[in-house]
Amino acid sequence: MKLTRQQRELGTKFWIYLAALVVSVICVFPFYNAILTSLRTGQDLFLTSYLPTTFHWENYVSALGENGVGRSLLNSFLVATIAVGICLLVSITAAFALARVRFRGRKYILFTILCVSMFPQVAVLSGMFELVRFLGLYDSIGSLILSYTTFSLPFTVWVLTTFMRSLPVELEEAAIVDGASLWVIITKIFAPIMGPSLVTTGLLAFIGAWNEFMFALTFIISNENRTVPVAIGMLQGTSQYELPWGHIMAASVVVTIPIIVLVLIFQKRIVSGLTAGAVKG
Amino acid sequence: MDLTAQRMTAAPESGAGTEAKPRLGDRIDAWLPKIVLAPTFVCALVFIYGYILWTAVLSLTPSRMLPKYEFAGLAQFEALFANERWWLALKNLALFGGTFVLVCLAVGLLLAILLDQKIRGEGLIRSIYLYPMALSFIVTGTAWKWILNPELGIERLLHDGGFENARFDWLIDPEMAIYTVVVAAVWQSSGFVMALFLAGLRGIDDSIIKAAQVDGASMPTIYRRIIIPSLRPVFFSSFMILTHIAVKSFDLVMALTNGGPGFSSDVPATFMYSFAFTRNQIGLGAASAMMMLMIVVAVIVPFMYSELRRPRHG
């Protein structure tokens, strides 16, 4: 039987939607399964039913309370917010200098900053560890603020420099003609236009700090100073055989939901921010 | 490096910038940019470069539990390359990195082309594909650990579904464990690569494609001959980002396999961590960190060099 052109097109559409659906299921399933497991207790945990059967919130209560994940959430939030705040303050001025002011050695500074984000962080881990001990920051969240700021700064400077270069120069020229000082130019003219880019950059740096694992594992030893990724890692390490799957999944869901919400709200901006900073990795 | 910077801004704007700079420069004292840049520069230079140097020094000393500053030549590197676990970690990095980067690029491109077919609900589907990138590698690892666990996940599902002899135990198979890391990493990163490719696809001038269609080219040909070649810069950035993720991957391996079974899914980062911080072999750990640094440089520098030397609008 010969198909008409219309039928053939319909067929193609069918396969496209089917593929899109299959990929969607693959994308959603692991996290859906984590939510499902986090709502089950006891023997229910090992059911192979992929529909919600029970709604036990006990896992959340005990994960946040007894297991100290609640405290870890607070730590994660504090560390990420402070580090990102410092980064943005420093990098908006640095980006202005790199994007707009011509001075000797600018090229080398850009190069230095670009290279930093290429290095694997493991290469500085030992050195950072000695610095943290020297400063007496070992086992305090100060150590994480220090390391996250150091590692996010090159990234935020790069992305903001790219954004700032794309703004028209006439803006500042007009301000200069009106006799505005550099400080006024940065705070009154750039800051408002840069608002959206600052949000994007800050958000990306925040996600990075929120999810960071290696420094947090190395610099923090006590339960009450841990951040969430390490807390989850520790829950898994507690026993070899009977993993507290319910608690682990509850903690995973709790740490992920705020980030997913942020990413979905700012989706478009995040992609453009990452594309702008893409060459630096 | 200025080249890179310029590639990312539109040409007319950078033209306007050079014209206006002297005037602006007159008003701004020469020292000001340096003060403003100092914190970033100090952070980058002292902390990061300083500590890389420090790691390099450590790798030439016999340090074990505490740093000991005596020159030991290349003894740590000799010990490193005499260590079977290190070779295994290198082999795993090659297997994991190669598979992960290639599969991610392929899947990302396919998904971007799929989403570019003017389908309904594109916004929703894009969000679904993109959200895994927001997850912590620890969470990804945990979620996949359940699915890949023979007693909990897919294998059990197959058994319950009547396939009594079905086996899917990569997680506990020393030969296959590293590929579970690939699966989880691809799941997490493909959406992001798709977003990059999609942005690239949307940036292609429609009139070129229309012209090709008028000339009678079929869609597959248009993709192969026009669209995919023009995505070259996206391949470039994605390659860099993915290679970087592959070399530094640590969290995912820790959460998913913890380097096991045995040391079979060890990667250089977990090797370095375990020697420097749990086995009190700082010197050996530093040597492995230096080797990782060299791997990154060896992969990325030639690639960047050849890419940046190409004509900008070629």
Task: Pick from B142, B156, B258 the residue to mutate for testing the A interface (most A CBs within 10 Å).
Answer: B142
* pLDDT tens digits, one per residue of A81-108: 999 999 888 888 788 778 777 777 777 7
* Same-domain check for residues A220 and A260: yes
- Using pLDDT thresholds of 50, 70 and 90, give the confidence band for residue B87: very high
The confidence score (pLDDT) of residue B161 equals 76
- Using pLDDT thresholds of 50, 70 and 90, give the confidence band for residue B31: low
CA–CA separation, A164 and B9 (whole Å): 10
* Same-domain check for residues A89 and A196: yes
When mean pLDDT is compared over A257-261, B21-25, B91-95, B195-199, the highest value belongs to B91-95
Handedness of CA B260, B261, B267, B270 (dihedral sign): positive
* Same-domain check for residues A151 and A190: yes
Above 50 in pLDDT, residue A66? yes
Q: In A, which residues are within 8 Å of B139 by CB distance?
A: 34, 229, 232, 252, 255-256
* pLDDT tens digits, one per residue of B244-284: 888 878 889 988 888 778 788 889 899 988 888 888 788 88
- Those residues whose C-beta lies under 8 Å from the C-beta of residue B259, and which sit 6 or more positions away, are B253, B265, B266, B267, B270, B274
Query: What is the average pLDDT across A178-207?
Result: 80
B251 touches chain A (CB under 8 A): yes
- Using pLDDT thresholds of 50, 70 and 90, give the confidence band for residue B33: low
Q: Please state which architecture CATH assigns to domain B80-308.
A: Orthogonal Bundle (1.10)
The confidence score (pLDDT) of residue A48 equals 66
Task: Tell whether A55 is covered by a domain.
Answer: no
* Same-domain check for residues A140 and A30: no
Q: How many A-B residue pairs are in contact by the CB < 8 A criterion?
A: 296
- Using pLDDT thresholds of 50, 70 and 90, give the confidence band for residue B82: confident
Task: Tell whether A160 is covered by a domain.
Answer: yes
A179 touches chain B (CB under 8 A): no
* Same-domain check for residues A39 and A108: no
CA–CA separation, B282 and B213 (whole Å): 62
Task: Pick from A111, A119, A157, A218 the residue to mutate for testing the B interface (most B CBs within 10 Å).
Answer: A119
CA–CA separation, B203 and B197 (whole Å): 10
Burial (CB count <10 Å: 0-12, 13-18, 19+), residue A154? buried
* Same-domain check for residues A104 and A192: yes
A262 touches chain B (CB under 8 A): yes
A123 touches chain B (CB under 8 A): yes
Q: In B, which residues are within 8 Å of A130 by CB distance?
A: 54, 67
Task: Tell whether A281 is covered by a domain.
Answer: no
Number of structural domains found in chain A: 2
- Those residues whose C-beta lies under 8 Å from the C-beta of residue A50, and which sit 6 or more positions away, are A32, A33, A36
The confidence score (pLDDT) of residue B9 equals 38
Query: What is the average pLDDT across A213-233?
Result: 88
Angle at alpha carbon of residue B78, lines to B74 and B80, rounded to 5°: 115
The confidence score (pLDDT) of residue A124 equals 82
Nearest residue of chain A to residue B150 (CA atoms): A46
* Exposure of A249 in the CB half-sphere (CA atoms within 13 A): 26
Q: What percent of chain B shows pLDDT beyond 90?
A: 15
Burial (CB count <10 Å: 0-12, 13-18, 19+), residue B287? buried
B277 touches chain A (CB under 8 A): yes
Query: What is the average pLDDT across B219-233?
Result: 86
Q: Which of residues 68-127 of B touch A (CB under 8 A)?
A: 111, 114-115, 117, 119, 125-127
- Using pLDDT thresholds of 50, 70 and 90, give the confidence band for residue B67: confident
Write out the residue range of the structural domain in which residue A36 sits. Answer: 5-46
The confidence score (pLDDT) of residue A38 equals 86
A109 touches chain B (CB under 8 A): yes
A238 touches chain B (CB under 8 A): no
Task: Give me the residue from B39, B41, B282 closest to A126, CB to CB.
Answer: B282
* Same-domain check for residues A88 and A225: yes
Domain range list for chain B: 80-308
* Exposure of B192 in the CB half-sphere (CA atoms within 13 A): 23
Give the predicted TM-score (pTM) of the model. 0.82
* Same-domain check for residues A255 and A196: yes
Of A126-130, A131-135, B156-160, B266-270, which gets the smallest average pLDDT? Answer: B156-160
B220 touches chain A (CB under 8 A): no
Distance of residue B250 Cα from the nearest chain A Cα, in angstroms: 7
Task: Tell whether A209 is covered by a domain.
Answer: yes
CA–CA separation, B61 and A255 (whole Å): 41
Q: In A, which residues are within 8 Å of B292 by CB distance?
A: 120, 122-123
Tell me if A279 and B240 make a contact (CB, 8 A cut-off): yes
The confidence score (pLDDT) of residue B16 equals 40
* pLDDT tens digits, one per residue of A247-271: 888 889 988 988 888 888 887 777 6
CA–CA separation, A249 and A40 (whole Å): 10
- Using pLDDT thresholds of 50, 70 and 90, give the confidence band for residue B25: low
* Same-domain check for residues A22 and A91: no
Nearest residue of chain A to residue B19 (CA atoms): A169
CA–CA separation, B296 and A123 (whole Å): 11
* pLDDT tens digits, one per residue of B152-201: 777 777 777 777 777 777 887 888 889 999 999 999 999 889 988 988 88
Task: Give me the residue from A20, A30, A114 closest to B1, CB to CB.
Answer: A114
* Same-domain check for residues A78 and A28: no
Task: Tell whether A61 is covered by a domain.
Answer: no
Helix (H) or strand (E) holding B260: none
The confidence score (pLDDT) of residue B5 equals 41
Alpha helices, H only, A47-181: 58-64, 69-100, 106-116, 122-134, 141-165, 170-177
Tell me if A94 and B36 make a contact (CB, 8 A cut-off): yes
* pLDDT tens digits, one per residue of A141-156: 899 998 898 888 888 8
Nearest residue of chain B to residue A259 (CA atoms): B134
CA–CA separation, B276 and B260 (whole Å): 18
Above 90 in pLDDT, residue B94? yes
Q: In A, which residues are within 8 Å of B58 by CB distance?
A: 126
Tell me if A128 and B52 make a contact (CB, 8 A cut-off): no
The confidence score (pLDDT) of residue B11 equals 37
* Same-domain check for residues A235 and A101: yes
A121 touches chain B (CB under 8 A): yes
Q: In A, which residues are within 8 Å of B285 by CB distance?
A: 126
Task: Give me the residue from B50, B157, B241 closest to A127, CB to CB.
Answer: B50
- Those residues whose C-beta lies under 8 Å from the C-beta of residue A164, and which sit 6 or more positions away, are A95, A96, A99, A100, A190, A194
CA–CA separation, A147 and A86 (whole Å): 12
Distance of residue B254 Cα from the nearest chain A Cα, in angstroms: 8
Q: Which phi and psi angles does A55 have, rounded to 5°?
A: -120, 85
* Same-domain check for residues A39 and A72: no
b/e per residue A200-228 (b: at least 16 CB within 10 A): bbbbbbbbbbbbbbbbbbbbbeeeebbbb
- Using pLDDT thresholds of 50, 70 and 90, give the confidence band for residue B4: very low
How does the average pLDDT of chain A come out, rounded?
A: 81
Above 60 in pLDDT, residue B47? yes
Query: What is the average pLDDT across A109-125?
Result: 75
CA–CA separation, B167 and B153 (whole Å): 11
Tell me if B23 and A173 make a contact (CB, 8 A cut-off): yes
The confidence score (pLDDT) of residue B27 equals 53
* pLDDT tens digits, one per residue of B106-143: 999 999 999 888 888 888 888 889 888 888 899 999 89
Tell me if A34 and B143 make a contact (CB, 8 A cut-off): yes
